[in-house]
Structure 1
Amino acid sequence: MNLNIKKDEDDKLNNLNQDKTTIFQEARIFNQSPISPRNSRILLTKLSYLLLDDSFNRLESTNLFFSITKLFQNKDPALRQMVYLVVKQLSNQADDVLMATSSIIKDIQPNSNLIYRPNAIRTLAAITHPSMIQSFERFYKNAIVDRSPAISSSALVSSYHIHPQASDTINRWSNEVFDALSTNPSSTAQYHALGLLYNIRHKDRVAISKLIQSLTQSPSSLRNPLALSMLVRYSSRLINSDPNLSSSILPLLESWLRNKSDMVSIEAARAICQWNGATPVHLSRPVAVLQLALSTPNTPLKFAAIRTLNDLAQRHPLTVSSCNLEIENLITDSNRSIATFAITTLLKTGNEASVDRLMKQISSFMLEISDEFKVIVVDAVRTLCLKFPNKYPAMLAFLSQALRDEGGYDFKRAVVEAIIDMIKGIGESKEMALAHLCEFIEDCEFTKLSVRVLHLLGVEGPSTPEPTKYIRHIYNRVVLENAIVRAAAVSSLAKFGTNVAYAAQHVRRSVKVLLGRCLDDSDDEVRDRAAMYMRIIHDDELAKRTTHEEHTWSVGVLEKSLCTYTTEQNYEEPFNSAVIPRMPKDQIRLDTHVGRLGDLGEKQGESENSKNNKDNATAHSEELLLSHDAPASAATSAHNSHALSSTTNITSIPEFAGYGAPLHTSPPVHLTEEETEYVVSVQKHLFSEHVVFEYHVRNTVPEAVLDGVSVLMGLGDVGGSLREDFILPIDTLTVADGERSTYVSYSFIDDEGDGNGDNAGYPTGALSNTLTFTTKEVDPDSGMVEEEGYADEYQVDDVELGISDYVRPEWVSFDGEWEAMSMEHSEHSELRDSFTLSAMGSLQEATDALTALLGMMALGGSDVVGSAHLHTLRLSGCIIRGSAQGKVLAMARMAFEEGEGVNLEMVVRSPNSFTCELIMGAVQ
């Protein structure tokens, strides 16, 4: 009989594909008396499934909600649990859900059924507005410290979810939450309690550090593996955010390596491997733990270990190479994810002799894995190209085969970018790689990739020994592809016509014929491009300016200035392109790779760190890794964009018309806090014979109007080098005016240095500032301004005039320029000195301070420190005025020792000896 009943119930549950109308009709059983618990449970289950994929309007939800609350009268435990589940799902859709609060609180009472209480606690948190949680504070506090793990976990999880909206109330429960950590040893409640306690204290780093220390002093206080794993993660965050805590946190992480739970030991090993300051000595024990995990039959454990080793191989390949034997055994693992990570790890740690064997093993299972893992393999192959450029034929053959395989856009894009990197980094591979890309675009389904390859052919094709063989592939795209690809093909053809014209006139004539055929294209973009390039090809001077010019405008700054020009609609004056900074085309090309570098995420810094530590890295790989300049160049563009508006404003002021164009404009520096009554910031505009201080002033006092606002400057030590010209005050400044500017102009008295290392012609020091004005009070009732005011002044912070104000950051190919400035090859000057920066607490701090002090551009990603102990900073800039005017490069080698600070060796090279002395003197 029982079996038949069970079968009948299953038949009803299997038919869950119900619509809203059916549910509403059947909901009448909730009003029956007596209530049928079994039928009500089945209907609630159907409703719960329906709510997962669909939603009701508020009226329907409210009616259902109050129908369901009638089931609180029934004492059936299973029915009551279903009621709580559906009530939580409807709580966000129904109105007046607080009406069920009294029924739920009855089940929270300590004398109620143990089965009811956890569900009631969760449901109360769902239906209660966070602002009302204080009314139920007593219930939650008692539940948090309850002896039952289920009740305690329910209260902790509920508190965790409502903490963002009711943080002030829940922060007062920290004592009860801490007690829950020891009330239920080894239960999941410890995990929930630790998560809530961290949320309460996460803004206080000292409190988090004390929490970790207190929980580790007593071995029996925390025994749940989930809680211990979370504690390891919190420790990892702490040690990475504050290197000074490494001495206290690192021993804890090493002690967790011996934990009997595999989950905790693997998490501790992962934390040490991801620590920024880890050295091979620190990594020996966690790598041994991971190596042991590779041989276990537990698949999740193997996956966690190999993934951690794969990530570590980016930064410490030699350390991971000790596990190569175990990793090779995982290549044939039945789990394709583990096999993929094993292959990519071996690619990062293997030697040149093993490349061919690894490439064969990769090819055997590429068709069996998903696109996500294919992208990982391709990225690993690209990294291998940088290590062993002589093995490019085997790797290029693998990549070309990957282009012919089935795959999505992300996979094909990764392959194309890898081949492009090989072309840029390994010159011998250019013709073979271009041939493979030409074959790829013959049958490419992705428009973006076709355009990318066509652009590359236009850039690289004309410089090959046989450029004509690529023209056929390009023109095929004009005939066969869509309008976007046709337009890109026209641009690529034109580059062959201009860049090969001087060496092969027949190529130029052929390109003219092909472009002439494009003049009849159905798409206007294709026709316009063809017409434009026909005009360029016929004019050698125009072709030289457009296709051979090595510099072009900064796109970001140009776009912003054009938007400003069109917005203001002041068309009486023509657009002034002279104020747009020009950048090398090489730098523009690097900026196009920012998106791809963003996809690689943290691998940027890791790859740079790995590059610095590899003695066998070739010059090709160094050039390829210069793509890390993209973030720096982007930052420079942002600075130029910010300075553009101020530059445009100052050049339009008649008093500065004779000064010429500004040589350098600094970013704004705040001299007051944002909350003060008068907010002041300053920008410095450097001209060939003058320096202008532009003070941005904002009045935040509605009851006051300021007249004659100006700044009186005290020159201090630089008084003998500067002569005041004039001050341009602000006539009237009210709150409604927002931010307005007052100017102070100075002339340089001595423009020449004596060559003995002093800063003559380059005054530096702190200049005091006093804001002076006449205050007129405003009648709050009538809004009238008093005629008579009183003189007032407001002291603001000093402004620093430093060497960085005379330096303009410039991008160069550092290795080539550095070698060209070598004393062995030319008459350039070099200056070398050593310093001890005892006040610096880390290499990153020293790097940021040095870059800001000198005002130069950090190249090769050297502004990001990848090691806690050694770092090399590469800087480039140009002195923009005076006797030291000219290009300057600097290399700073830094070593950090705990307690002693940073030891710095500085090398400066420039065509001018005084330039070297000026830069070195700024560091001293």
Structure 2
Amino acid sequence: MNRKDKREDEDGVLSIFQNLDKTTLIQEARYFNSTPVYPRKCIHILTKIIFLLNQGEKLTTQEATDMFFATTKLFQSQDIVLRRLVYLCIKELSPMAQDVIIVTSSLTKDMTGKEDLYRASAIRALCCISDSTMLQAIERYMKQAIVDKNPAVSSAALVSTLHWSASVPDLVKRWVNEAQEAIMSDNTMVSYHALAVVASCRRNDRLSLVKLITKLSRASLRSPYALCLLIRHAAKLAEEDETDAAESLMTFIESCLRHKSEIVIYEAAHALVNLNKTTNGLSNAVSVLQLFCTSSKATLRLAGARTLAKLAAKHPNAVADCAVDLENLISDPNRSVATLAVTTLLATGAKSSIDRLIKQIPGFLSEISDDFKIVVVQAIRRLCSKFPSKHQSFSTVLSDMLREEGGLQYKTAIADAIISLVEENLDAKETCLAHLCEFIEDCEHSSLAVRILHVLGREGPKARQPSRYIRYIYNRVILEAGAVRAAAVSTVARFGATRPELLPNVRVLLARCQLDDEDEVRDRAIYYSAILDSENPQLINDYIINVPIPNPVLLEKALNDYLNSTPEEPFNIASVPSVEDPQETKDALIEIETCKLPIISREEKYAEELNVVPGIEKLGPIFKTCESVDLTEPETEYRVRCVKHIFERHIILQFECLNTLSNMLLENVHIRLDSISGYKFLCEVPCGQLVFDKQDSIFCLLEFPESPIETLGSFGAVLEFVCVDCDPTTGLPDGSEGYADTYPLEDVEVACADQFRARAATNDWEASWERAASSAEACDTFGLSQRDVSEATIAVCEHLGLPKSAISGDAVKEIRGGGLWRGGAPILIRARLVAAQGAVTMQLTARSTRVDIATLLLAAIG
């Protein structure tokens, strides 16, 4: 065959997947009804169906049902390839089609037949269409399949059992003996799947799981995959346990470092490295990973370098001994390994070696993907905080990276690193702002340009020569898209509001912007011009300098509720929670594949659930949702957590309940509260049924007392319900009469911090404090129980709901912050703490527009 004929033949093979159409395939599927069946043609049609479904094509219920039943006609053929494709199609179509249960008899026949290839595939297909009632009919066959001599059949049965354990755990528990027997199988996959089944069945019984892991750790499992799974369970149990059993589990994990299988050795090292508590085996794990770094296999080098990179984020000293081996990996042909080696050395290296390592980064940066480039950027960002005096080198490297090619996520990571350098290092501020100004001249990402303009507006006016940034900002008004132009107008206005010497020039620029084609740009220019012309310091501060940005999702909901309820009072936008910047934890591990989930606030998370409360739209916008608090111990049969939702005049207590008893069904579940004096109980939304392992909520709506001081206190709470025995398999009541029962809960406390949205002091906090000098003030001195001033300061911040960033000072600690009370009254807080003669004394001052709110803050401490 010549080259031309070969190319045409390849094109012909691919052509069956080109221009596939759902309607045409449904027509072709009718061919399955013909007699006799021609396997070759049917295989082509089934292949196209599976391909189309895997491409994301959506079928209607009727279309899927028609195609499903057409496919079942092919059971009359004995062709092995065709039969296996039939099983695949059944699995793909069963979630969309109706009456799929009708194919059970054919699958059961194949499952118990003599053809092993049919049996394994039939079991997997049966798993997709079976329900709890059908499983009882095939239970005997499943038990036989689990211990079958053919490993493919046994594995298929075990994997199907693992899927069923989530929906019908009590039925699957009856198959545990067979699964335990399969753990000792010579086949690696059968042993692995069997262990997964047994561990899943015991996941709610900690003692039983510990016994299983301890027993198997002394046995000689042949399967490296099963051993890896055993190590994962042992590490999890050892992390949670502080008893002697944890020591034996740690000994088992450390012994696996000497296993002959590389997979097991790495799993053990990985488990020891990722434990939150420090262990003696950490040094042994590092030694193993160090050997991996010198391996001839690229996979082992990558595994070793990647795990050491994660460890360096938590325990840099533990990785310091690997410096020589990691330096050898910088020239590794696998550039991913080289990247991890450099980032680890940057995290663990001394100050003297930083410049040398930084110079090597540009050499391989162009050869790696954006994901690994982001890892490098994150390493440099951590170094900016660790070695502030090296800011010149860091800013230069980051600016060079910013000018190179890359996607939005990569450029955003670099911009974040430069912005953090601006905020944390005063010496680097001007240099980094200049780099950001140069970048936005050629920035192709509007969202990133808007972000940088916002930073320039916040940090630029504080620079020694703020006028130098005006040109770059105004260029955006001339050259960029509408969104960027609007952001530039806001930035220019901040310069005029903060620096009076620039105000005349800013007024001229804003006047020019009032002629812009974009209405958003024009409106902003007119708006800011009017505020600046008023020369009112309070107005300029509230609407240009320190403008809270309300959460858009909650703002939309609050406005809809306001319009539906048509209240007499004007809408108060200050009552809508603001957008909070996500705080990055310092102990964050290095992640190679970044997958950012959308960040939503607690208020957004619970917004839909609260709609079941009658009349909630009349309560006004939600002010704050507090963190959930456990009202029961973790191992109890009923688990209850309380979430407090704060409104201006009301509070909703949401009790999240979980029933862990599979043989019990709870009906008419509600909460009995011992109310605090002054609170008015309005209504309760009980839970009709609380089934096994499915969380549901109870809501109690109360009205706050008129006096803020009376809001502080705690509610006694009791869970009341009717307990009904039920079938553990189906979850249905067994017909017996239920009996009333109660379950005592921990008290629900309403604290001062629940009613405030607090924040740390901003840069102009001193000016705000002085402006509030004429407001109501409450001041008192307290003796605190803590003896260490640092511990006392953190405890006070937690009690008042302030972040740790509100703390400053060394010998004399100072807390500066502010916030908003649920009624809309602003408040400023200043506390000074000092240790003397083994005791900590605190002077707390609060200023607010309402004297009772300032007094409330002090009463909460007292």
Q: Is the counterpart of residue 84 in structure 1 residue 80 in structure 2?
A: no
2 CA distance for matches of 1:526 and 1:208? 64
By how many angstroms is 1:478 displaced? 0.8
1:233-252 pair list within 5 angstroms: 233-242=232-241, 246-252=246-252
1 CA distance for matches of 2:656 and 2:120? 56
- Secondary structure of residue in 1 paired with 2:310: helix
- CA spacing shift, 1:454–1:82, aligned 2, 3 Å: closer
1 CA distance for matches of 2:492 and 2:586? 34
Q: Is the counterpart of residue 480 in structure 1 residue 448 in structure 2?
A: no
Q: Deviations over 1:685-721 (max 9, x none)?
A: xxxxxx844445538699xxxxxxxxxxxxxxxxxxx
Residues 752 and 857, structure 2, Cα contact 8 Å, conserved in 1: no
Residues 378 and 418, structure 1, Cα contact 8 Å, conserved in 2: yes
Residues 769 and 795, structure 1, Cα contact 8 Å, conserved in 2: no
Residues 419 and 433, structure 1, Cα contact 8 Å, conserved in 2: yes
Q: Deviations over 1:442-471 (max 9, x none)?
A: 111111111111122222222222222111
Larger mean Cα displacement after TM superposition, 120-129 or 12-21: 12-21
- CA spacing shift, 1:746–1:533, aligned 2, 3 Å: closer
1 CA distance for matches of 2:806 and 2:74? 65
- CA spacing shift, 1:697–1:57, aligned 2, 3 Å: closer
Larger Rg: 1
Runs (5+) with no aligned partner, structure 1: 1-7, 583-587, 609-629, 650-665, 685-690, 703-737, 749-761, 771-793, 818-826, 837-845, 863-872, 893-904, 913-917
Q: In the alignment, which residue of structure 2 is the partner of 1:786?
A: none
Q: In the alignment, which residue of structure 2 is the partner of 1:277?
A: 277
Q: Is the counterpart of residue 447 in structure 1 residue 446 in structure 2?
A: yes
Residues 856 and 876, structure 1, Cα contact 8 Å, conserved in 2: no
Q: Deviations over 1:830-850 (max 9, x none)?
A: 9676689xxxxxxxxx99996
In the superposition, the TM-score normalised over structure 2's length comes to 0.72
By how many angstroms is 1:71 displaced? 4.8
Q: Is the counterpart of residue 910 in structure 1 residue 843 in structure 2?
A: yes
1:770-849 pair list within 5 angstroms: 811-812=759-760
Structure 1 counterpart of 2:562, from 560, 566, 581: 566
2 CA distance for matches of 1:565 and 1:67? 51
1:634-673 pair list within 5 angstroms: 638-639=624-625, 646-648=647-649
Residues 490 and 515, structure 1, Cα contact 8 Å, conserved in 2: yes
Q: Deviations over 1:592-644 (max 9, x none)?
A: 531xx4xx6xx544489xxxxxxxxxxxxxxxxxxxxx999x99973589989
Q: Deviations over 1:851-875 (max 9, x none)?
A: 899455452599xxxxxxxxxx998
By how many angstroms is 1:156 displaced? 1.0
1 CA distance for matches of 2:445 and 2:516? 22
1 CA distance for matches of 2:200 and 2:193? 11
Number of equivalent positions: 731
2 CA distance for matches of 1:519 and 1:670? 53
Residues 671 and 681, structure 1, Cα contact 8 Å, conserved in 2: no
Q: In the alignment, which residue of structure 1 is the partner of 2:111?
A: 108
Q: One-letter code of the match for 2:199?
A: Y
1:648-797 pair list within 5 angstroms: 648=649, 679-681=671-673, 692-695=678-681, 698=684, 741=702
Q: One-letter code of the match for 1:102?
A: S
- CA spacing shift, 1:283–1:631, aligned 2, 3 Å: farther
Q: In the alignment, which residue of structure 2 is the partner of 1:385?
A: 384
Q: In the alignment, which residue of structure 1 is the partner of 2:534?
A: 539
Q: Is the counterpart of residue 593 in structure 1 residue 593 in structure 2?
A: no
Q: In the alignment, which residue of structure 1 is the partner of 2:804?
A: 859
Larger mean Cα displacement after TM superposition, 324-333 or 238-247: 238-247
Q: In the alignment, which residue of structure 1 is the partner of 2:336?
A: 337
- CA spacing shift, 1:672–1:451, aligned 2, 3 Å: closer
1 CA distance for matches of 2:351 and 2:168? 59
- Secondary structure of residue in 1 paired with 2:684: strand
Q: Deviations over 1:757-795 (max 9, x none)?
A: xxxxx999989899xxxxxxxxxxxxxxxxxxxxxxx99
Residues 142 and 157, structure 2, Cα contact 8 Å, conserved in 1: yes
1:57-96 pair list within 5 angstroms: 69=72, 71-92=74-95, 96=99
Q: In the alignment, which residue of structure 2 is the partner of 1:291?
A: 290
1 CA distance for matches of 2:262 and 2:290? 13
- Secondary structure of residue in 2 paired with 1:698: strand
1:408-427 pair list within 5 angstroms: 408-427=407-426
Residues 336 and 368, structure 1, Cα contact 8 Å, conserved in 2: yes
Structure 2 counterpart of 1:152, from 151, 154, 162: 154
Residues 670 and 681, structure 1, Cα contact 8 Å, conserved in 2: no
2 CA distance for matches of 1:581 and 1:57? 42
Residues 624 and 645, structure 2, Cα contact 8 Å, conserved in 1: no
By how many angstroms is 1:681 displaced? 4.5
Residues 797 and 804, structure 2, Cα contact 8 Å, conserved in 1: no
Q: One-letter code of the match for 1:344?
A: T
- CA spacing shift, 1:644–1:430, aligned 2, 3 Å: same
Q: In the alignment, which residue of structure 2 is the partner of 1:177?
A: 179
By how many angstroms is 1:328 displaced? 1.4
Q: Deviations over 1:71-107 (max 9, x none)?
A: 5445454554444344444444555544443333333
By how many angstroms is 1:163 displaced? 3.4
By how many angstroms is 1:13 displaced? 5.9
By how many angstroms is 1:510 displaced? 1.4
1:227-376 pair list within 5 angstroms: 227-242=226-241, 246-278=246-278, 281-376=280-375
1 CA distance for matches of 2:16 and 2:550? 58
- CA spacing shift, 1:113–1:483, aligned 2, 3 Å: closer
Q: In the alignment, which residue of structure 1 is the partner of 2:136?
A: 134
- Secondary structure of residue in 1 paired with 2:330: coil
- Secondary structure of residue in 1 paired with 2:148: coil
- Secondary structure of residue in 2 paired with 1:314: helix
CA RMSD of aligned residues (A): 5.2
- CA spacing shift, 1:489–1:175, aligned 2, 3 Å: same
- Secondary structure of residue in 1 paired with 2:204: coil
2 CA distance for matches of 1:410 and 1:768? 49
Q: Deviations over 1:552-594 (max 9, x none)?
A: 66845994895387245445334567x8599xxxxx7xx6531
Q: Deviations over 1:251-282 (max 9, x none)?
A: 22212222211111111111111111125x44
Q: One-letter code of the match for 2:315?
A: H
Q: In the alignment, which residue of structure 2 is the partner of 1:714?
A: none
2 CA distance for matches of 1:377 and 1:877? 35
By how many angstroms is 1:878 displaced? 9.9
Larger mean Cα displacement after TM superposition, 395-404 or 18-27: 18-27
Q: Is the counterpart of residue 431 in structure 1 residue 433 in structure 2?
A: no
- CA spacing shift, 1:28–1:463, aligned 2, 3 Å: closer
Q: One-letter code of the match for 2:329?
A: L
By how many angstroms is 1:293 displaced? 0.7
- CA spacing shift, 1:438–1:124, aligned 2, 3 Å: same
Q: Deviations over 1:636-677 (max 9, x none)?
A: 97358998965436xxxxxxxxxxxxxxxx985989999778
By how many angstroms is 1:479 displaced? 0.9
2 CA distance for matches of 1:486 and 1:10? 53
By how many angstroms is 1:523 displaced? 1.7
Q: Deviations over 1:156-213 (max 9, x none)?
A: 112223433333422322222222112x234211111122223322233333222211
Identity %: 34
- Secondary structure of residue in 1 paired with 2:277: coil
Runs (5+) with no aligned partner, structure 2: 1-7, 591-600, 607-621, 628-642, 659-665, 689-698, 719-741, 766-778, 808-812, 822-827, 846-855
2 CA distance for matches of 1:580 and 1:186? 63
By how many angstroms is 1:404 displaced? 0.8
2 CA distance for matches of 1:37 and 1:509? 84
Q: In the alignment, which residue of structure 1 is the partner of 2:508?
A: 513
- CA spacing shift, 1:475–1:253, aligned 2, 3 Å: same
Structure 1 counterpart of 2:167, from 161, 165, 168: 165
Q: In the alignment, which residue of structure 1 is the partner of 2:520?
A: 525
Residues 671 and 798, structure 1, Cα contact 8 Å, conserved in 2: no
- CA spacing shift, 1:117–1:805, aligned 2, 3 Å: closer
1 CA distance for matches of 2:750 and 2:90? 66
1:31-46 pair list within 5 angstroms: 31-33=34-36, 45=47
Q: In the alignment, which residue of structure 2 is the partner of 1:203?
A: 204
By how many angstroms is 1:124 displaced? 2.6
